[in-house]
Chains A and B, each alone.
Chain A
Amino acid sequence: MADKKKNILVVEDEKMTARLIVYRLKSLGHDVLHIEDGVDALKWIKENSPDVIVLDVMLPGMSGFEILENLRDDDEFDLSNTRVLMLSTKSRAEDISRGFGLGAVEYLPKPFKMDEFLLRLQRIMAENEST
């Protein structure tokens, strides 16, 4: 059971990866929603301000980078309350720094091991609580 229940959005179009992430996070007691499409995800984020977003870069509709750019440029949305963990097969230094530059706090190259993913996610959630 999680120390503190979080509202987590998983934006991932690769179904099996998403299914595994959602299953694990739900079994840890979090509230988890999965959205595959970038445009739908952006709309949902603006309306619900989740605690954590697990965000894939390559998405149908709108990329993960574009979602973050849009949130950054939206004066009515405060991204500092949301922790973003980016997932991507793009693991070049410029992609990683672009993700961090846009507000992500973690960047995990694909393919990744589930244990590593959970460890990083727990770390950023713990950091969020301490700040």
Chain B
Amino acid sequence: MIELINDHAFSFIYYVLLVMAALTLFVLVTTVISRWYSERRTYRRELLEEELGEKIVSYVSGDLSLEEVQNSLHNRLDYQVMLKLVYKLEKSLEGVEEKRLQELMEVEATRDHFLKRFKSDDVILKAKACLYMSRRKSIQKESVREMVKLSASREPILAYAAATAVIAHGSMGQKATALRSVLYNREISRMAIGDLFVKFSRYGEEYHIREMEVISAMIEDPKVVPERKAILIRIFDELEYYHSLEFLLEYYRPDHPPVVMKALINLLAKFGVEEILPDIHQNFSVSNDPEIRKAAADAMGFFKKEESIPVLKRLLNDADYRVRYAAASGLAGYDQVDLMGLRNEVSDPEELDKLMGEILAEKGWGG
């Protein structure tokens, strides 16, 4: 064996090197080709966006006919780009221009293109078709039912897109079902959930009574995890559902999970519910969870009650920096508190000076 290796050592090394060189060359060539292909695709897409964008803007401005825009749509990429451009433009238009944009979405060729994709098994294509349908004036009831089912998909993009379409076209029951499915899906981001509820509110009635009831029922749903409940509580604030106060007071209990409690404290303080102050002083300001102690300090700073001053002073020495900052910020809002005198209350006066400097600068009180 050793003899054989000795006899053919040179040839053996030669072949190994040859194979390695061939492999390296192959990797190099494929990298160059794939890079070239990807750059070409990006360039083509940018060029198409440029051309189609000009046409759509001319069309909505009344300077180009619908047929002329339609004639520019030939393949899948054209439709994808068109849809993307329409989404970007729709928020800026109203009146006759908005109507023109809507007509572009309702053209038979556009509709057929997306309906075909709705029947596809490809998740992305299906999701895009759902988003298209969410923008249409109306869709068939059967399609809405189908999309309610799709909102329970484990694929986050499809569930989100389907829920968007259900919110646009479904009954209140169907909307609630779709939103609940989305809430149960841990893969869907907080931002996407927030966006869906904003849409839910936008398509709702004037006073949002039923929307508020739907969200309240979800907060009480034991299958909805605490993190998602906290999002829903914050949504009440973002959507300015002030009539949710009655529900929140009923729902309020100091033994909720910390993440829910924090959202509740923030919102109830914002609503001016001073009844939570005793709990803030006795329970939340000494909670093991720094997020709760911070929410308590924020709330006390919001109410500015005399009896909160000693509690806030105590929190100036909290183990968590964010709590110390919130306490200092709260105390800075009291007229009767001598800010310089607070240096005697803390273990690190230099840090307090720094905190106060930042807080006063942020509030525009410095200098």
- On A, residues with C-beta under 8 Å from B are 14-17, 19-20, 23-24, 27, 111-115, 117
**Tally of contacts, chain A with chain B, CB under 8 A:** 37
> Are B89 and A16 in touch, CB under 8 angstroms?
yes
The closest CB in chain A to the CB of B87 belongs to A16
The closest CB in chain A to the CB of B94 belongs to A113
Give the most central of B61, B92, B95: most A CB within 10 Å: B92
**Chain B interfacial residues counted at CB < 8 A:** 16
> Are A15 and B49 in touch, CB under 8 angstroms?
yes
> Are A113 and B92 in touch, CB under 8 angstroms?
yes
> Are B94 and A115 in touch, CB under 8 angstroms?
yes
- Out of A16, A27, A111, A112, name the residue touching B53 (CB < 8 Å): A16
User: Is B274 among interface residues, defined by CB-CB distance under 8 A?
Assistant: no
- Out of B61, B91, B95, name the residue touching A24 (CB < 8 Å): B61
User: Is B223 among interface residues, defined by CB-CB distance under 8 A?
Assistant: no
What is the CB-to-nearest-CB distance from A37 to chain B, in angstroms, rounded to a whole number?
A: 16
- C-alpha spacing A112/B97, complex, angstroms: 14
What 5 pairs across the A-B complex have the smallest Cβ distances? Answer: A111-B91, A16-B88, A23-B57, A114-B92, A113-B94
Q: Which residues of A contact B54 (CB under 8 A)?
A: 19, 23
Q: Which residues of A contact B57 (CB under 8 A)?
A: 16, 19-20, 23
- Out of B49, B63, B89, B95, name the residue touching A20 (CB < 8 Å): B89
- C-alpha spacing A126/B94, complex, angstroms: 24
User: Is B93 among interface residues, defined by CB-CB distance under 8 A?
Assistant: yes
> Are A20 and B92 in touch, CB under 8 angstroms?
yes
**Which residues of B in the span 72-87 have a Cβ within 8 Å of any Cβ on A?**
85
What is the CB-to-nearest-CB distance from B78 to chain A, in angstroms, rounded to a whole number?
A: 16
- C-alpha spacing A47/B94, complex, angstroms: 37
> Are A112 and B49 in touch, CB under 8 angstroms?
no
A sample of 20 cross-chain residue pairs with beta-carbon separation below 8 angstroms, ordered by A number, consists of A15-B49, A15-B88, A16-B53, A16-B57, A16-B85, A16-B88, A17-B92, A19-B57, A20-B57, A20-B89, A20-B92, A23-B61, A24-B61, A27-B61, A111-B92, A112-B92, A113-B94, A114-B93, A114-B94, A114-B97
